[in-house]
Amino acid sequence: MKNIFLVGMPSSGKTTLGKRLSRELGYRFVDTDRLIVREEGKTINEIFHEQGEPYFRQAESRVLRTIRPEAGLVVATGGGMPCFHNNMEYIRQTGISVFLDVAPEVLLERMQRHQEDDRPLFRQNDPTLLEGLHKKDADRRPVYSQADIHLQGTTTVEELLQQLSTYL
């Protein structure tokens, strides 16, 4: 069973949709950020603060490559994961990639609703957050757009299943 990798900006719905999709398919759900936290014994914010972004990006790449192809997983990737160390190429070679394309204004709204300020590159109280989201979205879009499936805005599990049917 091919793995399904969900890619997109933070707060694009990768975890929420991924959990629902995994239940529908009978796949196991995996969140790469949670795997990194377990491996490192620290939160993502602590890793960024103590070791820096380059170290974190190496950890992402290392964790990604521990995911066996054909394991029947739905994988929510970290927002930046596909953009470093040829990770998008690896994702495309070892599974089906799905880009959840959500407008920065919607991402901002979702981030401001989160109880935890757990995104090291995006601070909830930052007055330039929307500007930063637009910039990151523009920077990452060429990589995300390499995904096998591109879903605009919010989507349902049923819509995603329909798109996936030709790949599974």
CATH number of the domain at 111, please. 3.40.50.300
Question: pLDDT by residue (tens digit) across 11-23?
Answer: 999 999 999 999 9
Question: pLDDT by residue (tens digit) across 25-67?
Answer: 999 999 999 999 999 999 998 999 999 999 999 999 999 999 9
Q: Check residue 157 and give its pLDDT.
A: 87
Give the domain range for residue 140.
3-164
CA angle at 100 for the pair 54 and 84, rounded to the nearest 5°: 20
- Reported pTM: 0.92
The number of distinct structural domains making up the chain is 1
Question: pLDDT by residue (tens digit) across 119-154?
Answer: 555 556 677 889 999 999 999 999 999 999 999 877
